[in-house]
Structure 1
Amino acid sequence: MNKQVKVKLKTTIQQPNEQPEIYELWVTGTYIEKGESAYLKYEEVQDDKNIKTIVKMGETEALILRSGGINMRLPLVKETEQTGSYESEYGVLMVKTMTRKIMFEKNKQDGQFIVQYDLNVSGQSVGEYTLEFHYMEESQ
């Protein structure tokens, strides 16, 4: 099952002893269900570069794949450290995630997926990230 959706992504990055950085993005995307898995696919433009994002959403694990202007593979499993990768102009960096919280709720017309994790890049903590995806079927 595929359907066109409006996606609101709110990203909160919390560094120790600092005010949180909050970013919001509204895009049109596709919600896909294949078997037991649910996916959100969308494209965004950042610094004049197209970035395709696929988010595999689950109750206890998730995977965020980005390609194009940014290439990233971010596996997220609740209460488990995972290793992913982030490709930059300087080469491929190994990243580690420690997922604190995952919540996935879906209804007929809409849903939300929230994941909270600590992100380490090359052994250095770069903060606690909270991603809140809210999606809603576009009215015909």
Structure 2
Amino acid sequence: MTKDVLLSISGLHYDVTGMVQEEEQETIEVITPAAYYYKNGKHYVIYDEVVEGMPGVIKNKIKIYEDGKLEIMKSGLSNTHMTFEREKINMTEYETPYGKLMIGIHTRELAVEAEEKKIHVHVNYALDVNGDQIADCNIEMNVKALDH
């Protein structure tokens, strides 16, 4: 795969608290250029995320393991290190400009399909904040080589 890639991440959160109406729930999709490299059997994708209305960026590093593990590290405006592992619950602190949250990630499904010029990752997980489950979530991530 080339160093320059196009990253597409789409996520859908199903509210389990009953506070958000189903028709108000929508898929969030980000498509951005990113840098890619492969090291020690892991795929790395690095990109900057701009937050509307705030100065600065969030630096993102995604580490994809082909045996079914995913790590997302954020630094800058938000700071966290989220780990997704099939059938495991991982706790982490999520620091935002508005304060810190303790989040739990219970990964139900995680599938990685890695090919020569593209990688697809599917994740289904339950998200809890401060011990209360707030959403069921899906993430679809596609990394595609940019041909020069």
TM-score normalised by structure 1 residue count: 0.91
CA–CA separation in structure 2 for the residues paired with 1:2 and 1:25: 20
Q: Return the match for 2:62 from 55, 62, 68.
A: 55
Letter in 1 for 2:15: Q
Letter in 2 for 1:13: H
Aligned residues: 140
Which moves more between the two structures, 89-98 or 8-17? 89-98
Unmatched runs of 5 consecutive residues or more in structure 2: none
Unmatched runs of 5 consecutive residues or more in structure 1: none
CA offset at residue 90 of structure 1?
4.6
Letter in 2 for 1:8: S
CA–CA separation in structure 2 for the residues paired with 1:75 and 1:100: 13
Q: How does 1:40-51 map to 2 (within 5 A)?
A: 40-47=45-52, 48=54, 49-51=56-58
CA–CA separation in structure 2 for the residues paired with 1:85 and 1:75: 11
The answer to whether structure 1 residue 72 and structure 2 residue 84 are counterparts is no
User: What is the match of residue 11 of structure 2?
Assistant: 11
1:108 counterpart SS class: coil
CA–CA separation in structure 2 for the residues paired with 1:125 and 1:95: 9
CA–CA separation in structure 2 for the residues paired with 1:114 and 1:41: 18
Provide the alpha-carbon RMSD of the alignment: 1.7
CA offset at residue 126 of structure 1?
2.0
CA–CA separation in structure 2 for the residues paired with 1:120 and 1:23: 19
In terms of fraction of residues, the more strand-rich structure is: 1
TM-score normalised by structure 2 residue count: 0.86
CA offset at residue 112 of structure 1?
0.8
CA–CA separation in structure 2 for the residues paired with 1:139 and 1:2: 8
CA–CA separation in structure 1 for the residues paired with 2:98 and 2:7: 31
CA–CA separation in structure 1 for the residues paired with 2:111 and 2:50: 27
